[in-house]
Structure 1
Amino acid sequence: MTTDGPAERALELDLDALRPGRTRIVLAAALEQPGVTFGDVGAVELEIDGFAQATLDAATEERTLLLAVVYRRGERWRLRAIGQGYPTGLAELATGYGVQLG
């Protein structure tokens, strides 16, 4: 993984390493700094090498952003860019997706 600047983040997914039966991965981002929103950050570029690219640029007061869903249809993996934002934190988003937080 590489990034070109201090504000860039990279994530690597190994779809072959998923447990059998897994068909969906939700990608989300949250801002830690108090008072900063995705409206302040500006456009979020989502790029998956050789697979897909999307620009998410409609955020205003959101502190957590649902970026995309990677899902399996038949034998192929697909990407759906979402760009849905929430004014709450990442914990609330995770709980909404059934993730148990300790």
Structure 2
Amino acid sequence: MVFPVIVLLILLVVQVGLLWYSESLALAAAREGADAGRSYTGGDDAARQRAAGFLSPYRGLLGTPQVALSHPDARTISVTVQFTPLYVLPGLDRWTVARTVQEPMERVVGP
């Protein structure tokens, strides 16, 4: 009776670690996308490509990532990265991880 409880606790610790790592990946990818999209020479395509490119080495750990862009105003870009992380415990596979980064756009101003 003790062994199944120990195995469940170990799997629970692994699951929490995977969720934490997935959230860190989503935030880092959103930051990369926002940095690429906010630059003076960047744009929406550059933001999507940079965020998706950041996540490409982790395809086995993640589901299909979705990158959404918005411009809350003319001077701001918002990048949201969402995906389904890897689950080792059954019944939790309905949750998704999503992180949003909002940054100001670079612009040229006179002296």
Could you state the TM-score of these two structures normalised by the residue count of structure 1?
A: 0.35
Between Structure 1 and Structure 2, which shows a larger proportion of helix residues?
2
Larger Rg: 2
TM-score in terms of structure 2 length: 0.33
Q: Which structure is richer in relative contact order (CA contacts within 8 A, separation 6 or more)? A: 2
